[in-house]
């Protein structure tokens, strides 16, 4: 809306005014009146609504031939319900009277031209633009909320381009329009009106780097779509053609929410009278958008693609591991994508390089890969091989200093949906590892943490991972789906559970059964020797204390009970004050629905079975899960990583719509 101005009437000549459909115009009936007049009467032509605004305690509404008194604060307001077919076709007559009842002292005529001006977007979040009578400027969360949504156009729809679509100021592909949000400008009125009036589309300076607007002119070629607003252009005089009642625009998002951007942007259209000096804005309509957040998917979401790298070491290739992954994906009905050595440059840690997520608006959704600032052998893979049609890309670079191990995305996870007290997290909560509660130490880069927090829909939780040599949360936790009411379990690495198991086996007479039995490249160590090793016990007491600290944080921040947690036997050892897995770390598994690809622990063989595998199966298979133990010892474990570190899974998006939550 423009600032309210009253239309001034005159006894000497007719007054002409423009009235926007659905918008009330105040009319000044008091400034120019005949001498001796003390009352007035109003009449109007069909299509004009006239009503009086007055204080009922001081003024009585006239009945029959009675008139409105001039010496009170009774104000006249007019509006029109439709656009005019020609100039000045709506009429309002104000007659002024003195003491004599039937003789008017004078008349004022008001000629109105109705024009239908409105800016419409998908405020109702239905996937289609519909006329809205409500608040289009404000954005509200929740199932009863409203407000339009923009996607960041971070995919690459044109195969001839090597960059994301948002880097281009022109339209590269008609398919690109699907990644934008439609906006419709209604501009119905007599063509002659626009000889002395113009429509101007505007964006705030603060939004100039965050969105771009294209005007559609009905054709099917790229030249029919013209960029009219963007980083270098804050306003656009709309080129309305004769008889045109609607003009279609497409709005493109350019930046994700971040520390300096709450995610809200706006556009407005103004009707400007060019026949005055200076020009006068008669009406402004504003619409607001929220940029769709980047959303992570937890292990409980069904898998769609499993990524793994082909690598070569001194002991040979990881071909057997790739065969095991192929078997696992076949069981899980999931596509396997192998990144060849020429693209990974012998960097196997694909989980550390990137994290899959997605963005969604009511009309469109597509996956988006978040490229970590790690930048090792796989640094080009997300940008060069994953970015493509309907597959977006985003990254955050660390200024000045280089990345630490905690900046790798093995240190980034997300829980399944949880409820904590009265607070619901229908998309789960992001988990990141840091040095907290230690003072100092390694942390995930602030630019990455700020980005994750700014998305709002998966409020991050900081855990303590700096006690580990690599320092990643996936070294001591994971989530698995279950078919019961809870829907998932949190798995935690547990030194105490492992020592308890070994103690039980010793007491059963199996103390000489050895860890690493069956491994050619590792010396065996018996259960008796492990239990008697004071240094190993001390190291695992420390590891258990660190895991227990995280256990309490996870219970508090995710609303978990002890029954929601499964302790997975695991031992660690300290090297230069940091912990590493003593045998393959079983919680560092890949989860493909009910099929779990678990690092083969090479535990003590008792009655022909690995007692560690047997224990894990007894814990997880009653939950409806299938444990598949896979040898990763040489290709991954000896390099301080496991299966989860060496794989990456793209999962189906949540069915829940993020805009229906209340952060």
pLDDT, one tens digit per residue, over 74-127 is 889 999 999 999 999 999 999 999 987 778 999 999 999 999 999 999 999 999
Yes or no: say if 457 and 256 are a contact pair by the CB < 8 Å rule: no
Yes or no: say if 303 and 334 are a contact pair by the CB < 8 Å rule: yes
CATH number at residue 234: 2.60.40.1700
Q: Among 218, 300, 215, 239, which Cα is nearest to 656's?
A: 300
Give how many domains the chain has, as a whole number. Answer: 3
> 237 with 299, same domain?
no
> 145 with 108, same domain?
no
Q: What is the mean pLDDT of residues 513-523?
A: 92
Residue 426, domain member (yes or no): yes
Confidence band (pLDDT; 50, 70, 90) for 440? confident
CATH number at residue 80: 2.60.40.1860
Grouping H, G, I as helix, E, B as strand and the rest as coil, residue 495 is helix
Choose the final residue of a domain: 56, 83, 114: 114
Yes or no: say if 610 and 603 are a contact pair by the CB < 8 Å rule: yes
359 in the Ramachandran plot: left (φ > 0), alpha (ψ -120 to 50) or beta?
beta
pLDDT at 102: 78
> 224 with 342, same domain?
no
Residue 446, domain member (yes or no): yes
Tokens linked to 59: 């003024």
Q: Where are the alpha helices (DSSP H) in 442-569?
A: 446-454, 495-507, 527-532, 534-558
pLDDT at 205: 96
> 409 with 478, same domain?
yes
pLDDT at 4: 63
> 97 with 197, same domain?
no
Residue 19, domain member (yes or no): yes
Confidence band (pLDDT; 50, 70, 90) for 254? very high
Q: What percent of the chain has pLDDT over 70?
A: 99
pLDDT at 325: 98
Choose the final residue of a domain: 289, 314, 345: 289
Residue 305, domain member (yes or no): yes
Tokens linked to 122: 């998908």
pLDDT at 439: 82
Confidence band (pLDDT; 50, 70, 90) for 418? very high
HSE value, Cβ hemisphere, 13 Å, CA-based, for 332: 29
Confidence band (pLDDT; 50, 70, 90) for 404? very high
CATH number at residue 579: 3.75.10.10
| Length reported for the chain | 663
> 127 with 64, same domain?
no
Grouping H, G, I as helix, E, B as strand and the rest as coil, residue 458 is coil
Q: What is the mean pLDDT of residues 511-536?
A: 96
pLDDT at 437: 87
The residues, ordered by sequence, that sit 6+ positions from 510 with a Cβ below 8 Å of its Cβ are 527, 604, 606, 611
Residue 423 buriedness (CB in 10 A; 0-12 / 13-18 / 19+): exposed
Confidence band (pLDDT; 50, 70, 90) for 315? confident
Angstrom distance (rounded) from CA 303 to CA 592? 6
Choose the final residue of a domain: 95, 114, 133: 114
Residue 663, domain member (yes or no): no
> 353 with 475, same domain?
yes
> 159 with 236, same domain?
yes
Tokens linked to 153: 């156009």
Q: Among 660, 661, 633, which Cα is nearest to 646's?
A: 633
Name residue, tokens 């814990």.
619
Q: How many other β-carbons are positioned within 10 Å of the β-carbon of residue 508?
A: 11
Angle at 596 between CA 593 and CA 599, to 5 degrees: 155
> 56 with 205, same domain?
no
Q: Which domain holds residue 458?
A: 293-658
Q: What percent of the chain has pLDDT over 90?
A: 90
Say yes or no to pLDDT of 343 above 60: yes
> 42 with 132, same domain?
no
Name residue, tokens 């829907």.
487
Q: Which residues are catalytic?
A: 352, 472, 474, 645
Enter the DSSP assignment of 151. Answer: -
> 131 with 25, same domain?
no
Say yes or no to pLDDT of 3 above 70: no
> 550 with 616, same domain?
yes
pLDDT at 399: 85
């Amino acid at each position: 809306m423009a600032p309210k101005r009253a239309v001034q009437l005159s006894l000497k000549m007719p007054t002409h005014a423009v009235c926007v459909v659905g918008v009330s115009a105040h009319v000044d009936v008091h400034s120019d009146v005949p001498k001796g007049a003390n009352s007035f009467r109003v009449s109007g032509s069909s299509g004009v609504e006239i009503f009086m605004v007055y204080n009922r305690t001081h003024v009585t509404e006239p009945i029959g031939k009675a008139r409105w008194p001039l010496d009170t604060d009774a104000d006249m307001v007019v509006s029109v319900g439709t656009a005019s077919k020609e100039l000045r076709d709506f009429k309002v007559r104000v007659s002024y009277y003195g003491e004599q009842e039937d003789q008017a002292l004078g008349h004022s005529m008001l000629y109105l031209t109705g024009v239908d001006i409105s800016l419409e977007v998908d405020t109702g979040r239905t996937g289609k633009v519909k006329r809205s009578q409500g608040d289009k400027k404000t954005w509200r969360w929740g199932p009863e909320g409203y407000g339009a949504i923009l996607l960041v156009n971070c995919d690459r729809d044109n195969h001839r381009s090597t960059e994301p679509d948002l880097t281009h100021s022109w339209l590269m592909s008609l398919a690109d329009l699907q990644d934008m949000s439609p906006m419709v400008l209604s501009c119905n009125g007599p063509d002659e009106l626009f000889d002395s009036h113009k429509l101007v589309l505007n964006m705030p300076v603060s939004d100039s780097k965050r969105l771009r607007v294209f005007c559609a002119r009905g054709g099917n070629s790229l030249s029919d779509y013209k960029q009219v607003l963007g980083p270098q252009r804050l306003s656009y005089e709309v080129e309305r053609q004769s008889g045109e009642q609607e003009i279609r625009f497409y709005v493109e998002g350019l930046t994700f929410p971040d520390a300096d951007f709450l995610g809200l942007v706006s556009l407005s259209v103004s009707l400007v009278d060019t026949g005055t000096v200076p020009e006068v804005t008669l009406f402004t309509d504003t619409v607001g958008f929220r940029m769709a957040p980047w959303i992570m998917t937890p292990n409980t979401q069904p898998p769609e693609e499993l990524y793994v790298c082909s690598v070569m070491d001194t002991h040979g290739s990881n071909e057997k591991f790739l065969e095991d992954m192929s078997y696992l994906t076949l069981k899980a009905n999931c596509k396997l994508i192998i990144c060849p050595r020429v693209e990974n440059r012998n960097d196997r840690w694909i989980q550390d390089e990137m994290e899959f997520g997605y963005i969604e608006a009511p009309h469109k959704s597509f996956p988006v890969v978040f490229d970590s600032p790690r930048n090792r052998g796989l640094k080009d893979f997300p940008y060069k091989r994953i970015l493509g049609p309907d597959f977006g890309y985003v990254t955050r670079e660390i200024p000045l200093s280089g990345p630490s191990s905690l900046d790798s995305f093995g240190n980034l996870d997300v829980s399944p949906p949880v409820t904590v007290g009265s607070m619901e997290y229908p998309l789960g909560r992001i988990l990141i590892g840091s040095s907290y509660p230690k003072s100092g130490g390694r942390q995930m880069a602030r630019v990455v943490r700020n980005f994750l927090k700014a998305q709002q829909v998966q409020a991050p939780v900081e855990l303590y991972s700096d006690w580990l040599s690599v320092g990643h949360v996936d070294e001591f936790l994971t989530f698995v789906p279950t078919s019961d009411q809870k829907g998932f379990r949190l798995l935690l690495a547990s030194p105490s559970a492992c020592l308890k198991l070994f103690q039980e086996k010793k007491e059963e007479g199996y103390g000489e059964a050895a860890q690493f039995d069956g491994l050619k490249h590792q010396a065996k160590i018996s259960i008796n020797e492990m239990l008697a090793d004071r240094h190993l016990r001390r190291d695992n007491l420390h590891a258990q204390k660190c895991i227990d600290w995280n256990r309490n944080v996870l219970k508090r921040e995710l609303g978990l009970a002890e029954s929601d947690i499964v302790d997975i036997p695991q031992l660690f050892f300290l090297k230069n004050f940091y912990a590493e897995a003593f045998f393959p770390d079983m919680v560092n598994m890949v989860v493909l629905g009910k099929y779990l690809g678990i690092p083969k622990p090479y535990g003590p063989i008792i009655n022909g079975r690995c007692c560690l595998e047997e224990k894990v199966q007894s814990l997880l298979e009653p939950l409806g899960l299938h444990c598949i133990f896979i040898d990763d010892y040489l290709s991954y474990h000896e390099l301080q990583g496991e299966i989860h570190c060496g794989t990456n899974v793209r999962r189906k998006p949540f069915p829940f719509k993020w805009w229906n939550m209340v952060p």
